[in-house]
Amino acid sequence: MLGETLPPWLLPAWSSLLAKAEAGTLAHAYIVDGARGLGKLAFARRLAATLSCLEPTAQGGCGHCKSCALNASDTHPDVMLLAPKEPGKGLTIDLIRSLGDYAQRSSHAGGARVAVLAEAHTMNINAANALLKTLEEPQQATYLFLVTDQPGLLSPTIRSRCQKISIPRPNESDALAWLQHAATEGIDKQRALECLKAAGGGPLFALELMEGDTLTLRARVDDAFAEVLSGRAQPEDLLAALSALEPIHAAEQLLSAASAQAKRLLLANQDSSESEAAEARAVQAGRVLKLAEECELARRQLASTSNPNPRLVLESLSWLTSRALRQGA
């Protein structure tokens, strides 16, 4: 995804971490934070491959040792990637527990062991507590990279036990140069700038918006809806996903995501006997249905000749989604 040469905005973090690795002063755990679409996950994975390589170079893994071969097929027993299995679910305690077991084992290939946690902020309190245990008993040559675009959602205890590496947003010309290089076909500068803006300045996210087909873009709205509704992402994230579609299609997709969510909540109640949980779900379903009504209203507004400002309409829907399940909403 990042290409052979690392993009310029990742270079300072890369050099600093590699210098520490060489000097033997790498910390056991890092939070890699920064806006969405900067390539943080790919960066952390490349770092993991480099740290586990038996003869690393300044660019990354050597590419021909046993470790590099295992990394190339994503089957390295000492390199672990933990990512949420479904949008809205987050990093579960089971995933984090598997990390605890892994940290206790000894290295297979004889090199460093590295675990990368994607979307680390999606851990719930139980998962975070399980992770704390691992963080409190650091093992020799074992490194953790917690990748997140919402570091504020990580618990303060976790933050206090990790070093921080912040990835900056590139300036416009670096971002455009990267897009030019990464796009499969030539780019239209105006469109690239629009996508970059919708993506909040993250070039990889902008590339997805530029090249994504409608189905992917619609699925992205569904994912962002689940994340924002559950409080795991900010309204801006949903707005970015919505902005990639025609406004009317964006409102339609949001309506479909909200209706599906309300239906799931009501269906869960059909085969549940816990009355308290069922009651809570019924309240939630009611709120999500209200949100769906707002989406329908917005869809009609956008289709009408009254000519509303589409961005304001989508902004308001994103905000409503982020508030829908909050207390007193």
Q: Between 68 and 291, whose beta carbon lies closer to Zn ion?
A: 68
Question: DSSP letter string over 88-120?
Answer: TT-S-HHHHHHHHHHHHSPPSSSS-EEEEETTG
Residue 62 Cβ vs Zn ion, minimum distance, rounded to whole Å: 4
Q: Which is nearer to Zn ion, 68 or 262 (CB)?
A: 68
What distance in Å separates the CA atoms of residue 240 and residue 178, rounded to the nearest whole number? 20
Considering the complex, state which of residue 65 and residue 297 has its C-beta at the smaller distance from Zn ion: 65
Of 132, 108, 128, 118, which is closest to residue 83 (Cα–Cα)?
A: 118
User: What is the token pair recorded at 186?
Assistant: 């030539």
* Options 58-66, 73-81, 203-211, 295-303: segment touching Zn ion (CB under 5 A): 58-66
| Closest distance of CB 288 from Zn ion, Å | 49
Residue ranges in 36-55 that form contacts with Zn ion under rule CB under 5 A: 53
- Out of 2, 42, 62, 325, the residue judged to bind Zn ion by CB under 5 A: 62
Binding mask 225-264 for Zn ion (x = CB under 5 A): ----------------------------------------
Nearer CB in complex with Zn ion: 70/285:
70
d(CA 6, CA 176): 15
Largest CA distance in the chain: 67
Using the rule CB under 5 A, give the single segment among 19-27, 31-39, 56-64, 188-196 that binds Zn ion: 56-64
| CA-to-CA dists, residue 238 to 110, 142, 177, 216, 312, angstroms | 43, 36, 26, 14, 13
Nearer to Zn ion, 61 or 201 (CB): 61
Q: Which is nearer to Zn ion, 64 or 133 (CB)?
A: 64
At what angle are helices 203-211 and 172-182 packed, to 10 degrees? 50
Parallel, antiparallel or unpaired: strands 163-166 and 29-33? parallel
| Nearest to Zn ion of 80, 204 (CB atom) | 80
CA-nearest of 256, 246, 264, 194 to 219 is 256
**Which DSSP state fits 268?**
H
Which residue type, as a one-letter code, is found at position 231?
G
Residue with Cβ nearer Zn ion (68 or 120)? 68
Angle between helix axes 203-211 and 235-243 (nearest 10 degrees) is 40
Q: Rule CB under 5 A: is residue 61 a binding residue for Zn ion?
A: yes
Tell me how far, at minimum, the Cβ of 46 lies from Zn ion, in Å.
12
Closest contact distance (angstroms) between CB of 265 and Zn ion is 49
Least distance to Zn ion, CB of residue 82, Å? 23
Backbone angles phi, psi at 80, to 5 degrees: -125, 135
Q: In the range 278-307, which residues lie near Zn ion by CB under 5 A? A: none
Binding mask 1-40 for Zn ion (x = CB under 5 A): ----------------------------------------
Nearest distance from C-beta of residue 74 to Zn ion, angstroms? 15
Minimum CB–partner distance for residue 106 and Zn ion (Å): 20
163 to 102, 134, 158, 226, 268: CA distances (angstroms):
21, 15, 10, 30, 41
Residue 76 or 121: which CB sits closer to Zn ion? 76
Q: How many residues bind Zn ion (CB under 5 A)?
A: 5
- Is the torsion defined by CA of 234, 239, 245, 247 positive or negative? positive
CB of 80 to Zn ion, least distance (A): 18
Restricted to residues 63-122, the positions that interact with Zn ion (CB under 5 A) are: 65, 68
Closest distance between Zn ion and the C-beta of residue 226, in Å? 38
- Report whether 129 contacts 92 (CB < 8 A): no
Which residues of this protein are in contact with Zn ion, per CB under 5 A? 53, 61-62, 65, 68
